[in-house]
Structure 1
Amino acid sequence: MKDEEGIVRALLSGPSDACDAESAELGAIITAMDVFTDIGWKGSCSLIVEMGSKVVYNWILEKSRRPWSQQTYFADFDRKRACARKLSFSLAEVGGNEIADALVSAGMNRPCMFKAWW
């Protein structure tokens, strides 16, 4: 997570029990929303979530497109979204999320969730 100047202020990494890439991305968004709240940024600045999946982006924008199998994730997402004041979503350009690509390439596999902020 970066601040408004683009400086990295938080990192998170952990295992996912998701069966597909879309579920993993949705779980990562929910975790990022948790970290945003835990940091204390909620209410004082905006959270802009940039995602790589057009499918997940469409799920967030249009509830009618959400698959039934993901309803548990979306119930949690909608609760957290309702509490956020300044929250927006955007679709990353192809190859535009260098930090995420670097973490995946580096094999940041952890047996448990890791969250850090400063």
Structure 2
Amino acid sequence: MHCSGLDFAELLAMKIVVDVFIEAGCMGVMELVLESNSRVVLNWIVNPIARPRVWWETFLKLDRAARLVGKLSFYHIERVDNSMEALLAKEGANRTEIFKAWW
């Protein structure tokens, strides 16, 4: 199985979104819908056996947070050729600290 930095960046982005949703106090108030253009990452989320072991701890954290949210759905959206998105995902994966903000 091939695991790319973009896949890990997508996984981390999902984890951060779930964390922000929880921190904002939205649990039980509304459903969280996560859209991804990565069929690979979505497959990992629904099929734990397919998950790369190198990122196992991140998957466990996402699973725990997802259980707290309760109403959580994942959907695949088609990839649009967006080089800026890819660049930002790569840069985000290489950061030593994660910045989160919501208004």
Q: What CA deviation, in whole Å up to 9, does each residue of 1:41-66 have, x standing for no partner?
A: 11100100001111001001111111
Alignment partners' CA distance in 2, 1:46 and 1:82: 12
Sequence identity (%): 36
Match of 2:62 in 1: 77
Alignment partners' CA distance in 2, 1:115 and 1:66: 26
Match of 1:116 in 2: 101
Counterpart of 1:47 (choices 10, 32, 51) is 32
- Going from structure 1 to structure 2, the CA distance change for 1:64 and 1:111 (only over 3 Å counts) comes to closer
Alignment partners' CA distance in 1, 2:17 and 2:72: 12
Equivalent position SS for 1:40: coil
Residue type matched to 2:13 in 1?
A: A
Aligned pair count?
Answer: 97
Alignment partners' CA distance in 2, 1:94 and 1:75: 26
Counterpart of 1:87 (choices 69, 72, 77) is 72
Normalising by structure 2, report the TM-score: 0.77
Which consecutive unaligned segments of at least 5 residues does structure 1 have?
1-18
Equivalent position SS for 1:114: coil
Normalising by structure 1, report the TM-score: 0.68
- Please say if 1:36 is aligned against 2:21: yes
1:27 CA drift (Å): 0.8
Alignment partners' CA distance in 2, 1:84 and 1:66: 21
Residue type matched to 2:19 in 1?
A: D
Which has a greater percent of strand?
1
CA RMSD of aligned residues (A): 2.8
Counterpart of 1:62 (choices 33, 37, 47) is 47
